[in-house]
Amino acid sequence: MDRDILDVHRGENCPKRIATCEYCEFPLPAIDLLEHQEVCGNRTELCHMCHKYIRLRERYGHESRCSGIVDNAAESSRNTRPPERRRGAPRRQQREFSTKRLLFTIAITGIAVLLGSLFFQRKPDQNQVQ
């Protein structure tokens, strides 16, 4: 395989390449990115201007049209426009994930697996011990 083709595959096409979520900046395999962003984009954050909870996927459109006036009327998110991502709204600049952050994530995961295996060990039955 040509070296250039392999480099392009690893950087752009490989489903196992590491990609970063546009909402939480968590690095994960590209094959899992779409499903993760569907869930992650539904999380909400408080708009400090109008004091409403806004879905992360709708945040950029909201910021551009938010007047800062507090409106206490309850509003369903279903009555709002479709998600901005489908309308071609600008995406947040994707930051490169740091190697330090990735190693930290791997270390924490390893520790969690180790602790889980220690705490949830199966106890041998008395019948099997003999």
pLDDT tens digit string along 16-27? Answer: 888 899 999 899
pTM of the predicted model over 0.85: no
> Is the pLDDT at 75 greater than 90, yes or no?
no
Check: CB of residue 31 under 8 Å from CB of residue 16.
yes
pLDDT tens digits along 101-129: 888 889 999 999 988 888 887 776 666 55
For residue 94, what are the CA distances in angstroms to 23, 82, 85, 104, 124? 10, 23, 15, 20, 50
